[in-house]
Amino acid sequence: NKAFLNASSPAGQFLSSVKNAIVKSAILAAILSLLIGTLFFIQITSPLRKLTKAADSIAGGNLSQKVDFHSSDEIGRLAQSFNTMSVNLQNAQKQREHMMADVAHELRTPLAAIQATIEGIQDGIFPADNEQISAIYSQTTILNRLIEDLRLLTLAEAGQLKLERQPHQINLLLQQIADGYQVQAKRNGIDLEINLTEPLPEVNIDGDRFTQIITNLLANSFRYTPPNGKVILRTQYDANLHQVLISITDTGSGIDPESLPNVFDRFYRGDKSRSRASGGSGLGLAIAKQLVESQEGKITVVSPVFLNSQESGPGTQFTIYLPEIKKS
């Protein structure tokens, strides 16, 4: 046995070579494992480092930063979501910049009128009489309405607007609102036609906010409907959709097809005729849309409505869809 285990014996040399081979194999395996682990670690952490770098860049204000990484695994989907977030942030930033510019523009007009009137009074150009005071008051009313509209729109968009929703017979509300516009309709030479379908199921709405929606839409229709024109207030029931439909149609000048997708945007006035000169803050339709959607409804717009007809203009139609109250 001693001879067999002797290092100089063939058996000893064999065992020694086997031992060396095992040690070398173990060392090689360890090195390969380390290399593979390092490569695997780099493969995993490299896109994460890119994401971290891109996130830091966005945090620093560079909202155009994106991650160039193509893969179908979880990290690839994470990179895709990151890029989508980057695009959304860019769009939100542009909308915020546009809104600030629009707000500044809308505030500047009445403020400039107030300043000019006061400076005229100070310089003795205008007398400090009731007429000038009324002009200043009128401009402050415009400012107050604009600020209130912005506040309401911001709350509605953030989902923080408190609503007192209750079951309502929609035709009763609409009739009351329409009665309040009959005097204005006669004064403007406009035919206000009311077609209310009976009976209608109840809808769950905030009565005051719904009144505001209809008032905004009627005011918009009256604003752009010429004398001898017509405004039609109609209700219908869609049994398939289980929805109550309220439409307001006018025979006014209509809306350009290019402007239709943007009519519910803040301050949007694609049609040059639809400007401050004709009244309004440019927020009425945006507010109407938010108030409708906050009550689980939908609002759409179609223009032109009347083609090759005897009506005075191509017209515009706004339609509100409200779900009926489900019967238990």
Average pLDDT over the chain reads 82
Q: Distance between CA 248 and CA 194 in Å, rounded? A: 10
Check: CB of residue 196 under 8 Å from CB of residue 235. yes
* Arch. (CATH architecture) of 74-157: Orthogonal Bundle (1.10)
pLDDT at 275 over 70: no
Helix axes 130-157, 284-293, angle to 10 degrees: 30
Dig out the tokens for 243 from the structure: 């929805």
Per-residue pLDDT of 65-79, as tens digits, reads 777 766 677 777 777
Among 133-137, 167-171, 224-228, 274-278, name the one with the lowest average pLDDT. 274-278
What region, left, alpha or beta, does residue 85 occupy, with left being phi > 0 and alpha being psi -120 to 50 degrees? alpha
pLDDT at 273 over 50: no
The domains of the chain are located at: 2-59, 74-157, 168-323
Q: Distance between CA 225 and CA 100 in Å, rounded? A: 31
Class for the domain spanning 168-323: alpha beta
Q: Which of 238, 249, 165 is nearest to 201 (CA)?
A: 238
Q: Distance between CA 230 and CA 83 in Å, rounded? A: 50
Average pLDDT, stretch 265-275? 60
Query: Which letter, b or e, does each residue of 125-156 get, where b requires 16 or more Cβ atoms within 10 Å of its Cβ?
Result: ebeeeeeeeebbeebeebbeebeebbebbeeb
pLDDT band at 233 (very low <50, low <70, confident <90, very high): very high
